[in-house]
Amino acid sequence: MSVVEIDRVEKHYGSVAALAGVSLTFADGEFFGLLGPSGSGKTTLLRAIAGFVDPDAGVIRLDGRDIGHTPVHKREIGMVFQNYALFPHMSVFDNIAFGLSVRGQPSQDIKRRVGEMLALVRLSGMEKRTPRQLSGGQQQRIALARALVTRPRLLLLDEPLGALDKRLRQQMQIELKQIQREVGITTIFVTHDQEEALTLSDRIAIFDEGKVVQAGNPHAVYERPATAFAANFLGDANFFEGKVLGPGRVAAAEGEIATEDPLTAAGASVMLAVRPEKISLVRPDAPVTPGNRLEGRMGQAVYSGMSTIYKVTVADRELTVFAQNRSGQDFAPGDAVRLEWSPSHSVVVQP
């Protein structure tokens, strides 16, 4: 069992709060993603768990034990850095074996454990190669094997796939998730890549200015963002500001918008977020469907293969619509269009 508890942890650098009272719990065997822009606090938290950063306040517990004063090498934590930090002059075998060697493990045990790790990361037979003879994906897997060979209770990954190209990164996301499931180790990883966070994580936490803006399973955080920042950082969103007309009805500059979310009293200010892929584009003369409808004029269209990103002008502002390339419907700049979406996709967010 490896449960990590972060209890009101703070870290300041001068007047800047890198961590401002962060509290999180990472469950046993969970793959947890820390997501946020540069300087938001996610890497500081990871390094505090590892022991490289001393918090100014708060407690970090591993299975109920305060590890705040435990030396780095005694925390039973494995870590993979963005640049992998492999020893270039050592063979693959010696890189993986390093942690066991410094612990004085018998040579036969080291050989057996290294063999098990190479099999786990599917690189058996690579023992004699050096890091420079490996591809980026192979180096990443060797770094992972080195982190796991000592049987740590917790695995920390700092931008583990950031140095790989897109295709290899997508492949390694699948492999990394599979290896983590096979080992069953509690894993916390830092990323600024939205797709990576959604693909790998059992749960995610979005950071901003040293605080956790929102945490939960990826589907819930994406579909029901709590704040405008969360909606905009994890994906894209169109925002509508307006006044509450009554239950489920908001008057915005673009027109009346319906929502299924609870609203405050009539006349109160409110902000709604709508994901671009939730909106459908139709011709103005198309049959009307129940739900939200706004009239607009087509602007720029960006074709990306699987989908097209449309920019539509509605009431002097530009909205974004994502459409999969399957309908065969084509819109030209200047065309009159109608935007439609379900009230359930109008999400109330905090500005």
Instruction: Please state, as a whole number, how many other Cβ atoms lie within 10 Å of the Cβ of residue 178.
Output: 12
34 strand-pairing partners:
190, 205
In this predicted structure, which of 167-176, 226-235, 308-317 has the lowest mean pLDDT?
167-176
Rounded average pLDDT over 203-213: 97
Polymer length of the chain: 351
In this predicted structure, which of 5-14, 81-90, 144-153 has the lowest mean pLDDT?
81-90
> What pLDDT is attached to residue 129?
95
Rounded average pLDDT over 94-121: 93
**Which residues are within 8 A (CB) of 120 and not within 5 positions of it... i.e. 6 or more apart?**
145, 148, 179, 182, 183
Answer CATH for 4-225 from 3.30.1300.10, 3.40.50.300, 2.40.50.140, 3.40.50.10380: 3.40.50.300
Nearest to 188, CA basis, from 7, 19, 1, 32: 32
Q: Does residue 312 register a pLDDT over 80?
A: yes
CATH architecture of 236-349: Beta Barrel (2.40)
Q: Does residue 333 register a pLDDT over 80?
A: yes
Q: Does residue 33 register a pLDDT over 80?
A: yes
Q: Amino acid letter at 93? A: F
> What pLDDT is attached to residue 20?
97
> What pLDDT is attached to residue 167?
82
Which helix or strand (DSSP H or E) is residue 158 part of?
A: strand 154-158
The tokens for 211 are 């605080």
Q: How far apart are CA 100 and CA 93, in angstroms?
A: 11
Q: How far apart are CA 11 and CA 172, in angstroms?
A: 33
User: What backbone torsions phi and psi does residue 342 show, to the nearest 5 degrees?
Assistant: -75, 145
Chain-centre distance of CA 182, in angstroms?
Answer: 21
Instruction: Write the pLDDT tens digit of every residue in 46-65.
Output: 999 999 999 999 999 999 99
Domain segments of the chain as ranges: 4-225, 236-349
Q: Does residue 327 register a pLDDT over 80?
A: no
Q: How far apart are CA 252 and CA 271, in angstroms?
A: 9
Q: What percent of the chain has pLDDT over 70?
A: 99
Residues 298, 312 contacting (CB under 8 angstroms): yes
Instruction: Write the pLDDT tens digit of every residue in 36-45.
Output: 999 999 999 9
Nearest to 347, CA basis, from 294, 291, 281, 274: 274
pLDDT mean across residues, the chain: 93
Which residue carries 């967010």 as its tokens? 349
> What pLDDT is attached to residue 169?
84
> What pLDDT is attached to residue 83?
81
> What pLDDT is attached to residue 1?
65
Q: Does residue 328 register a pLDDT over 70?
A: no
Instruction: Write the pLDDT tens digit of every residue in 135-155.
Output: 888 998 999 999 999 999 999
**DSSP tag of 25:** E
Residues 203, 215 contacting (CB under 8 angstroms): yes
How many CA atoms lie within 13 Å of 275's alpha carbon, on the beta-carbon side?
16
Q: Amino acid letter at 111? A: K
> What pLDDT is attached to residue 145?
94
Rounded average pLDDT over 319-345: 89
Instruction: Write the pLDDT tens digit of every residue in 238-290.
Output: 999 999 999 999 999 999 999 999 999 999 999 999 999 999 999 999 998 89
